[in-house]
């Protein structure tokens, strides 16, 4: 007498889970987040900023100008000096008006800080703000 097995509920095939669609979705999400991320441009110099109790977050699209402890005015890692602030802000604000953020070291003289702020305002900046910690 021969007994035939028709269906036993156990498949003889592969018992692995196909994770290809999962990997595809992870890469699609990764690409989405990379493309939609807004990166903040840093000034390229180390500035020890003063503390403030009334700090506010500012826009991501802005012009960052740094004033170092030894009085150098820097934009994009390049020294522009106080006289170069006006031309730099004018050039960058031609297409779209952007706010200027000044990152001044806490040991910088008030005279230099005010001069940089005035140059940015004379260049037609949307607003001029001083960055603090």
Helix, coil or strand: residue 91: helix
Quickly state the pLDDT bin for 127 (edges 50, 70, 90): confident
Claim: this prediction has a pTM higher than 0.75: no
Asked if 67 and 103 touch (Cβ cutoff 8 Å), the reply is yes
- Tokens of residue 100, six digits: 């200027």
Q: What is the pLDDT of residues 21-67, one digit of tens each?
A: 999 999 999 999 988 887 766 666 666 666 665 555 555 678 899 99
CATH-assigned architecture of domain 63-130: 2-Layer Sandwich (3.30)
Per-residue confidence band for 69, with pLDDT thresholds at 50, 70 and 90: confident
């Amino acid at each position: 007498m021969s007994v035939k097995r028709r269906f036993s509920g156990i498949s003889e095939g592969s018992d692995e889970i196909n994770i290809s669609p999962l990997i595809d979705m992870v890469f699609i999400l990764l690409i989405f987040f990379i493309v939609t991320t807004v990166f903040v441009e840093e000034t390229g110099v180390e500035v020890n900023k003063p503390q403030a109790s009334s700090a506010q977050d500012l826009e991501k699209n802005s012009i960052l100008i740094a004033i170092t402890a030894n009085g150098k005015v820097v934009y994009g890692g390049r020294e522009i000096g106080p006289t170069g602030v006006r031309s730099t802000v004018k050039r960058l604000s031609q297409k779209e008006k952007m706010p200027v953020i000044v990152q001044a070291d806490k040991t910088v003289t008030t005279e230099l800080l005010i001069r940089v702020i005035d140059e940015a305002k004379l260049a037609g900046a949307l607003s001029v703000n001083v960055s603090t910690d």
